[in-house]
Amino acid sequence: MARYDFASDNVAGAMPEALAALNAANDGAASGYGTDHVTARAADLIREALDADAEVRFTASGTAANAVALACLAQPHESVLAHEHAHVCTDETGAPGFFGSGVGLIGLPGPSGRIDGTALTEALAQPDVSYRQPAAALSLTNATEYGTVYSGEALKALIDPVKARGYGVHLDGARLANAVAAGFSLRGIKALGVDILVMGGTKAGSTPTEAMVIFDRTLARRFDARLKHAGQLVSKGRFLSAPWIGMLESGAWSGRAAHANAMAQRLAALMPFPILHPVEANGLFVEMDEPTLERLRQSGWFVYRFLDGSVRFMCSWATTAEMVDELGAALKSIR
């Protein structure tokens, strides 16, 4: 039987803090569609963590959260700038265009998942013409798809020229907890100029839940109707929001991400194959040919070949040192 321990950080179960909060929220009756006391408490905790006034909503899907966010920031005849390997460009099956009634995506290059500033400048300088969807927003990812982490200063350098043109900014934080554990500041996100943040819960170790944080309150008008239209305004909303109470009150959201990051460092120290991107969060990307990858799979370990041809190993909140050491031995045996 194949082991999926390192295939992704979404193969692990939910952390005990999230499950305990879910169990607590199950007691008694509560109003529906996100109007309940549990959701109010979770939203307050998120605002406290971000040190920012914002509207907060919860969805069951990161893809839907990202796509709804981009639909808020760009019109159907416009496009969103993003890294060419960003999740919105490569793994969301056209969802931004679907939820945005035709919103386009413009992929930009950059090493290790981080957008190249020169490429962004060139994209922003493109003239508006009738036959091409012009840029209207920027989508950023932290931690990136390659496990690297933007500093606040690096994000600001990308955001400032975008905001100078009056465009919107979305931050995909599916692995934001890992970025925070690596030193990125939650409390500075609003000041950077981000309009909508998707704060990831699922990959951090929750049951399926993502928090949409709307810093620009003008975008929040009729937002519940937008979510209902997208199939993301669930009736028992407290079961999307409750895990956040457990994760944030206990500190487990970032604390367990720090553990996942540490496990990635442990695996990096054991890795007998060339590592192709800096190990800054909870992922490793290594050079491995197809016969070797097949030997690894035959030995019982399943991992993915990633967008740039590397083989990806992801650690999660549930990864143990024993798991890492066992994989390290398996990797050494197939070298």
Domain of residue 302: give its range: 252-334
- 242 and 274 assigned to the same domain: no
* Six-digit token string for 325: 């050491």
Mean pLDDT of 22-41: 97
Q: Residue 84, Cα to own-chain centre: how many angstroms? A: 15
In this structure, are residues 204 and 317 in contact, taking their beta carbons and an 8 Å threshold? yes
Residues 235-256 have a mean pLDDT of 98
- For range 13-38, the mean pLDDT: 97
| Token output for 80 | 């969103």
Give strand pairing partners of 106. 81
| pLDDT, average across residues 47-71 | 98
Res. 150 pLDDT band, cuts 50 70 90 = very high
The verdict on pTM exceeding 0.75 is yes
- The radius of gyration of the chain's CA atoms, rounded to the nearest angstrom, is 20
Is residue 335 scored above 90 in pLDDT? Answer: no
- The answer to whether position 129 is within a domain reads yes
Q: Kindly report, residue by residue over 72-129, the tens digit of the pLDDT.
A: 999 999 999 999 999 999 999 999 999 999 999 999 999 999 999 999 999 999 999 9
Per-residue confidence (pLDDT) for residue 132, from 0 to 100: 94
Which is nearest to 110 in space by CA: 145, 134, 152, 73? 145
pLDDT band at 173 (very low <50, low <70, confident <90, very high): very high
Residue 253: per-residue pLDDT: 98
Tokens in use for 113? Answer: 């998942």
Same domain, 316 and 184: no
**CATH number for position 299:** 3.90.1150.10
* End-of-domain residue from the set 229, 250, 271: 250
Task: Compute, in degrees rounded to 10, the torsion defined by CA atoms 97, 98, 101, 102.
Answer: 30
- State the pLDDT at residue 204: 98
Q: What is the pLDDT of residues 285-325, one digit of tens each?
A: 999 999 999 999 999 999 999 999 999 999 999 999 999 99
Q: Are residues 143 and 211 in the same domain?
A: yes
Closest of 103, 65, 60, 57 to residue 87, by C-alpha: 65
Same domain, 119 and 39: yes
Please check whether residues 181 and 278 belong to one and the same domain: no
Q: What is the pLDDT of residue 129?
A: 94
Residues of the chain with pLDDT > 70, as a percent, come to 100
Return phi, psi of residue 124, to 5°: -70, -25
Identify whether 326 is part of a domain: yes
Question: Which of the listed residues 250, 276, 295 is the one where a domain comes to its end?
Answer: 250
Residue 192 and residue 178 share a domain: yes
Q: How many domains does the chain have?
A: 2
Last residue of a domain, one of 225, 250, 275: 250
pLDDT at 1 over 90: no
